[in-house]
């Protein structure tokens, strides 16, 4: 298993939650996170990675619903 990081969700329906994400081979989280709230991918809320510098800290900011 690779490294992981705690990343907060900002804005949208999951505002204030923190998730654990795996880091890729370059040490960064995935560019997007799909927040599922029981409705499946069609009802997912899309969060996009933002960062202050290349090595963090990171956050996922809400961009809107998937559909």
Q: Which residues of 10-49 are buried (b: 16+ CB within 10 A; e: fewer)?
A: eebebeeeebebebeeeebbeeebebeeeeeeeebbbbeb
- pLDDT of amino acid 56: 66
Confidence of residue 1 (pLDDT cuts 50, 70, 90): low
Q: What is the pLDDT of residues 3-60, one digit of tens each?
A: 999 999 999 999 999 999 999 998 899 999 999 987 788 889 999 999 877 666 899 9
- pLDDT of amino acid 2: 72
């Amino acid at each position: 298993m690779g490294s992981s990081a705690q990343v907060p969700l900002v804005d949208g329906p999951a505002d204030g939650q923190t998730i654990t994400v795996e880091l890729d081979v370059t040490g960064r989280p995935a560019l997007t996170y799909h927040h599922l709230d029981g409705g499946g991918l069609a009802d997912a809320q899309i969060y996009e990675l933002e960062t202050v510098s290349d090595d963090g800290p990171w956050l996922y900011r809400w961009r809107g619903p998937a559909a």
